[in-house]
Amino acid sequence: MQNIIIIIILALFVLIVGLVLVISFGLSNLIVTPHTPDPNQCYIDEIAKGKIIKEEYESDYHREDFKLQSDYGYMISGSFIPRDSNVMLDDKKEKVVVLVHGYQFCQFGSVKYINIFRKLGFHCVIYDHRNHGYSDKAVTTMGYYEARDLKKVCDYIRTKLGDDIILGTHGESMGAATVMMNAPLDDKLTFAIEDCGYSNLSDLLAYSLNKVYHLPRFPFLWIASLFSRLRGGIFFHQVIPKNEVAKCDALPMLFLHGEQDDFVPTSSINEVYEAKRGYRRMRIFPNAAHAESYWNNKEEYSQEIEAFLKEIKII
């Protein structure tokens, strides 16, 4: 009888450990190899939704597509959109903004922001993260290596237009985390704008794990982080954007978020804003869930960016 009890206990233990490992491996899949949609279909869908005007994108923008080799061997795909030639420049310096898309999307998600900046005399750059869109496959790291790729894109633009250009970044969601992670890596940046980025990847995943699956942080998150690292990615604690923002005293930053965001909680903006030293500005938009601040508040969103750029004397 005693042996049977021991066997049952051992079987339950093995079953529980197995379930923990399976769930943790599944969580690591969401980070390392997330499903990313076909970019051609994304383009079609964005046109159907009215988020991209086909003639404008294909003709009026005079788009210049590019391929760029990352420091890690894969190719990054993007497009350079020249500034609107009808907009007079206040000075002779070229102005550029690199627009960074979010998790499980592609560069077409950044197109909606182009006209905000073009009307202010900016060239715009959109591109696909590693493992997204037209860029080559590589493990997703939620902003860690993506930040290094963003630095590569910025350096490419400086090579194209000159080292003394005014160059800033704008990102949403994972793109916003990427913008924040990149900020201390690039001492030539002029400004950075983050929209609905997370302050700490581990905290975000713990929040989602509890919200969606009603599971605790430990042991699932710890094991998933280990799986992520073993599969060529990163430990989750390597992505803490608020720590990187704290290193950027001299870089002006604008923090944006939707008031009804329950994917990346709105409280995240307070954490990154408080971490930032030096000049910073913050705006929370009503009636906006995750990555919807612009669509639900177009005029106010555009005005906020313009006011920020005027305040830091970029325009």
CA–CA gap between residue 149 and residue 169 (Å, rounded): 13
Report yes or no: 145 and 72 within 8 Å, Cβ to Cβ: yes
Tokens of 60: 């009026």
Q: What is the rounded average pLDDT of the residues 82-111?
A: 92
Q: What is the pLDDT of residues 133-174, one digit of tens each?
A: 999 999 999 999 999 999 999 999 999 999 999 999 999 999
Q: Kindly provide the b/e burial profile for residues 22-37, where b requires at least 16 CB atoms within 10 angstroms of the residue's own CB.
A: ebbeebbebbbeeebe
* 309: nearest Cα among 208, 135, 144, 169: 169
Confidence of residue 2 (pLDDT cuts 50, 70, 90): confident
Q: Which pLDDT does position 27 carry in this prediction?
A: 93
Q: Which pLDDT does position 1 carry in this prediction?
A: 72
Q: Kindly provide the b/e burial profile for residues 91-118, where b requires at least 16 CB atoms within 10 angstroms of the residue's own CB.
A: eeebbbbbbbbbbbbbbbbbbbbbbbbb
pLDDT at 85 over 90: no
- Give the E-state strand segments of the chain in sequence order: 64-69, 75-81, 95-100, 122-127, 166-172, 191-195, 253-258, 280-285
Amino acid at position 240, single letter: I
Prediction pTM value: 0.96
pLDDT at 92 over 90: no
Q: What is the pLDDT of residues 211-267, one digit of tens each?
A: 999 999 999 999 999 999 999 999 999 999 999 999 999 999 999 999 999 999 999
> Residues with Cβ < 8 Å from 271, sequence gap 6 or more?
199, 200, 242
Tokens of 109: 């998600």
Amino acid at position 10, single letter: L
Pairing of strands 122-127, 75-81: antiparallel
| Sign of the torsion formed by the C-alpha atoms of 67, 133, 82 and 100 | negative
Tokens of 41: 């279909």
Q: What is the set of domains in the chain, with CATH numbers?
A: 1-32+201-236 (no CATH), 37-200+239-311 (3.40.50.1820)
Q: Which pLDDT does position 169 carry in this prediction?
A: 99
| Sign of the torsion formed by the C-alpha atoms of 78, 84, 85 and 88 | negative
Q: What is the pLDDT of residues 280-314, one digit of tens each?
A: 999 999 999 999 999 999 999 999 999 999 999 99
CA–CA gap between residue 254 and residue 269 (Å, rounded): 10
DSSP letter assigned to residue 255: E
Q: Which pLDDT does position 90 carry in this prediction?
A: 74
